[in-house]
Amino acid sequence: MRRKSDSNSKRRKNGRKRKLFLTFMVMILLAVGVLLGFSVLTDLKIMPNSPNGQLTTEELKNSISVLLIGADQRPGEEKFNTDTIILATIDPKSARVSLLSIPRDTRVSIPGYKNIKINGVAPLTDLENLVDVVADLTGVPIAGYIQTNFNGFKQIIDTLGGITVDVEKDMYYETGDAVDGIINLQKGLQQLDGAQALQYARFRNDALADISRTARQQVVLKAVAEEMLQLSTLPKLPWLIPQLNDAVNSNVELRTMFKMSTTVVKFKDISILTQTLPGRFHDINGISYWDVDREEAQRVVSNLFRGITTEKVIDDTVIDLLEPIEPIDDNPLPQVPGSPVDPNGQESSEYQDAVPDAGNPQEEADVDGENREEEKESKPQEIPRIPENIQNPDEENTKKPNEPQTDVLLNKET
């Protein structure tokens, strides 16, 4: 009996240690973000002759990668969406942290489903499978996931006393959702409470929809990091730490968490790069996906790990994801179904657009728990390759005036 009691006590202690290190990791990732992360780098130039191809065994061995997941689980519901997916990699040798944001509409395949948005992988399977899908897409071994709950994150923001955000434009949208309600934010620098911060991060009623939404999520994370680094936050730690414990969970091993935490703390001159996974909008049966070429995705990740980012480009023009978009040189904007640019399109905000494999009798998954009749997939367009030498925006634009928009290369540099 004594041995069994000792064993249970040891497991409880290990569980508490895991939670402690997990909380520490989340606080470190948020705090480090304010130094260089989650904003655009202005001093990093494109290197046309940058190394390409797969990462070397030595590079992969030295680095540690985890998947940061923001889950949107509504009260009383078992199902949830993984609306934020970020591959975070720490390289102790170069003192570099790389953050790769993966748009939630990224089109992937899993057993039984030929086409599915990546935010539907976990609800239809589990978080471990989502880790495997991202690892296969990027070619990066991933130690595990760290999941945060948006509702818990909202409470953390309220405990901090709100966050300061420069809202880039007036935002009004009737979501029809009991949680988000009516989004009504005014342009300008202002203090947002937890509910308003999540509304800002979730707003997608503009031309680039979820791609702009990804950028806003990074703005909110940076603002939270800034508040956490304030001296006024210290007295709030007794309330913040339990909230962080409730808001996060992970399957990352304790020793890996410890290694990541101690590595970041030891960094003197830290370099943080952020990148949105490049791709292009692709419509299938009225449903908008973010199409990514796997080979090019791995090349971009390889360059990112070496400190090289890719310019965000639409029609060879660098744009700010958070700036209102106007037509460039009389060329039409890329149409995103369900956005103001294409108001007649069909928007799928959940993962109910999953298309079963033609060889699998399994019916299409529906977020409401009902099965819908399978639709035949239209023939997808060929995914264009990203050029090896990305054109510098300062160079002469050699694109033909009437050439249709196909590629959208996006990044958030820090």
Angle at 43 between CA 40 and CA 47, to 5 degrees: 100
Reply yes or no on whether the pLDDT at 240 is more than 60.
Answer: yes
Residue-level pLDDT at 189: 95
Name the pTM for this structure: 0.61
More confident position, 212 or 134 = 134
What is the chain's mean pLDDT, rounded? 66
Q: Report d(CA 208, CA 241) in Å as an integer.
A: 36
> Band of the pLDDT at 382, cuts 50, 70, 90?
very low
- What CA–CA distances, in Å, run from 343 to 13, 59, 347? 55, 46, 9
Phi-psi domain of 95 (left: phi exceeds 0; alpha: psi -120 through 50; beta: other): left
Q: What is the third-level CATH fold of 2-409?
A: Aminopeptidase (3.40.630)
Contact 280, 157 (CB under 8 A): no
Q: Identify which of 132-141, 171-180, 274-283, 336-345 has the greatest average pLDDT.
A: 132-141
Q: Which residue has the tokens 């007295």?
A: 235
